[in-house]
Amino acid sequence: MANETTPTTAPPPVSFTEAFLYWLKLGFISFGGPAGQISMMHQELVERRRWISEHRFLHALNYCMVLPGPEAQQLATYIGWLMHGVKGGIMAGVLFVLPSLFILIALTWIYLAYGNVPEVAGILYGIKPAVTAIVVFAAYRIGSRALKNGILWAIAAAAFVAIFALNIPFPVIVLAAGIIGYIGSRIAPNKFKAGGGHGASDKSFGPAIIDDHTPTPEHTTFKWSRLMVLAVVGLAIWTAIMSALAATYGWQGALTQMGWFFTKAALVTFGGAYAVLPYVYQGGVEHYQWLTGTQMIDGLALGETTPGPLIMVVAFVGFVGGWTKALFGVDNLFLGGAAGATVATIFTFLPSFLFILIGGPLVESTHGDLKFTAPLTGITAAVVGVILNLAVFFAYHVLWPHGLSQPLTFSTLLSGFEWFSALIGVAAFIALFRYKIGIMQVIGACAAIGLIFSYIKPLFV
């Protein structure tokens, strides 16, 4: 309800330049994962600047939540599209990602070129168990919201067994969970009514430029001709880049395979970046061998400490793959890595732009609640099991960095166990779970502990 301090008139229209400066700034300060990024946009665009109303903001977010891909980046694209059409959506989405790409390219180069420097190795030693704790906490956080009954718990358990013991590909698990959710909504709708969307709100911060009852702008109205043009253009861009890569490097070339792999990854990222990481691990580590399991953990650590979507860890995977495969020769490792990071980023985010620019007009045609949540509920439940598998994988590589000796006995379990890493991981989880300390602060503290330990460890050897 409005009070004496609530404005009574909408702000003046926002120029393209003003919007450009805001989205550029957001790209450099969007730390904190999707929850923090969405909160940051809400505070700035709904509460302070009043570019969009609370209801319209949440309606857009509900749509982004049921799409595969990074919901915060998609939300920025959606709002940019509402404000300034297709060019505004592309601008907002690109600027949300571009600073993170440049930062990750620089950090990954430092990691590969200087990762064996004792100080850098010490910092990574402290960060790795913190990342493991973060993944465990993510599984708890998603599970506490998603697993509301025994059926959803069973889906989560089945997903864990499927990927851990049976090595079933992640897309198959996502598809099966979505089908179960759809069928379940028909058989037992009460068990699948908890979706991934956000509810409405009665808060008001004063009239907004795009308010609850603002007439739909012409560029947001649904037209079949517009949909077909955007779909054809998007497919043409994808085909042109893939064809150029295939013609230059062959279908089996590393960059071509990166384009194909990250396109598939972009279509199964239901549940956020943590959910798709096992798929990226299966492909990047096991199938293509672009990087090692330990490097995957380090990449997630770098992704957690940079602005932008956490799914930008794909840029790390692409850079390491380009560097490892020496795409442009051993004298141009940086260029090979940068090319890999760029290809991974383009093919990961291209579908997100198409989902928003093509689907946005359909969403704007009604401001009612979306009815796509039943399959999402099943997928989200499966995601919990998949993330738990990721936590087990990370924990194994962090606590037994040299692997387990055979035969597996109690003594072999203890022989190579990294007890100090375990202490850091437990402390990090307690900090996240019990004291609600932010991820950045936890990573920073653990990095400092790892650095200090690297100096004093020789005293105990």
Would you tell me how many other CB atoms lie within 10 Å of the CB of residue 144? 10
- The β-bridge partners of 210 are 52
pTM across the whole model: 0.74
- Residue 354 pLDDT: 92
**Which has more confidence, 66 or 255?**
255
Q: Which residue has the tokens 């009070």?
A: 3
Average pLDDT over residues 144-161: 89
Residue 114 identity: Y
% of the chain beyond a pLDDT of 70: 90
- Residue 369 pLDDT: 44
Show the domain range for 348: 16-199+223-385
Q: Which residue among 354, 385, 416 closes a domain?
A: 385
Q: Which two tokens stand for residue 242?
A: 């893939």
Q: Is there a single domain that holds both residue 376 and residue 442?
A: no
In a domain, 217, yes or no: no
Q: How many domains does the chain have?
A: 2
**Which has more confidence, 108 or 205?**
108
Can you give the C-alpha Rg of the chain in angstroms?
Answer: 23
Q: Is there a single domain that holds both residue 308 and residue 324?
A: yes
% of the chain beyond a pLDDT of 90: 36
**Which has more confidence, 319 or 441?**
319
**Which has more confidence, 139 or 73?**
73
Q: Is there a single domain that holds both residue 441 and residue 297?
A: no
Q: How confident is the model at residue 328 (pLDDT cuts 50, 70, 90)?
A: very high
- Residue 368 pLDDT: 46
Q: What's the first-to-final CA gap in the chain, in angstroms?
A: 65
In a domain, 134, yes or no: yes
In a domain, 204, yes or no: no
What does pLDDT average to over the chain? 84
- Evaluate whether 163 touches 257 at the Cβ level (below 8 Å): no
- Evaluate whether 88 touches 81 at the Cβ level (below 8 Å): yes
Q: How confident is the model at residue 138 (pLDDT cuts 50, 70, 90)?
A: confident
Average pLDDT over residues 178-205: 70
* Residue 417 to residue 411: CA distance in whole angstroms: 10
199 pLDDT above the threshold of 70: no
* Residue 170 to residue 279: CA distance in whole angstroms: 5
Q: Is there a single domain that holds both residue 456 and residue 368?
A: no
Which pLDDT tens digit goes with each residue over 229-251?
999 999 999 999 999 999 999 99
Which pLDDT tens digit goes with each residue over 338-360?
999 999 999 999 999 999 999 88
Average pLDDT over residues 39-65: 82
Residue 315 identity: A
154 pLDDT above the threshold of 70: yes
- Residue 198 pLDDT: 47
- Residue 35 pLDDT: 63
226 pLDDT above the threshold of 80: yes
In a domain, 4, yes or no: no
310 pLDDT above the threshold of 90: no
Q: Is there a single domain that holds both residue 301 and residue 182?
A: yes
In a domain, 218, yes or no: no
Angle value at C-alpha 295, between 115 and 275, nearest 5 degrees: 145
Q: How confident is the model at residue 371 (pLDDT cuts 50, 70, 90)?
A: low
Q: Is there a single domain that holds both residue 296 and residue 393?
A: no
Q: Is there a single domain that holds both residue 65 and residue 170?
A: yes
E strand intervals along 50-175: none
Q: Is there a single domain that holds both residue 238 and residue 259?
A: yes
- Residue 271 pLDDT: 59
Q: Is there a single domain that holds both residue 136 and residue 157?
A: yes
In a domain, 157, yes or no: yes
Average pLDDT over residues 301-309: 79
Q: Is there a single domain that holds both residue 147 and residue 72?
A: yes
Of 353, 356, 358, 351, which Cα lies nearest the Cα of 225?
A: 358
- Residue 195 pLDDT: 46
Q: Is there a single domain that holds both residue 261 and residue 231?
A: yes
Average pLDDT over residues 280-291: 88
41 pLDDT above the threshold of 50: yes
Backbone dihedral angles phi then psi of residue 412, each to the nearest 5 degrees: -70, -30
- Residue 254 pLDDT: 92
- Residue 274 pLDDT: 67
Question: Mapping DSSP to helix (H, G, I), strand (E, B) and coil, where does residue 193 land?
Answer: coil
**Most confident by average pLDDT, 21-25, 70-74, 164-168:** 21-25
196 pLDDT above the threshold of 50: no
In a domain, 57, yes or no: yes
103 pLDDT above the threshold of 60: yes
Residues 6 or more apart in contact with residue 270 via CB below 8 angstroms: 68, 174, 178, 376, 379, 380, 383
In a domain, 268, yes or no: yes
- Residue 51 pLDDT: 92
- Residue 270 pLDDT: 65
319 pLDDT above the threshold of 50: yes
Which pLDDT tens digit goes with each residue over 374-433?
777 788 788 788 778 878 877 888 888 877 777 777 777 777 789 999 999 999 999 989
Phi-psi region of 329 (alpha: psi -120 to 50; beta: other; left: phi over 0): left
- Residue 324 pLDDT: 92
Q: Is there a single domain that holds both residue 390 and residue 339?
A: no
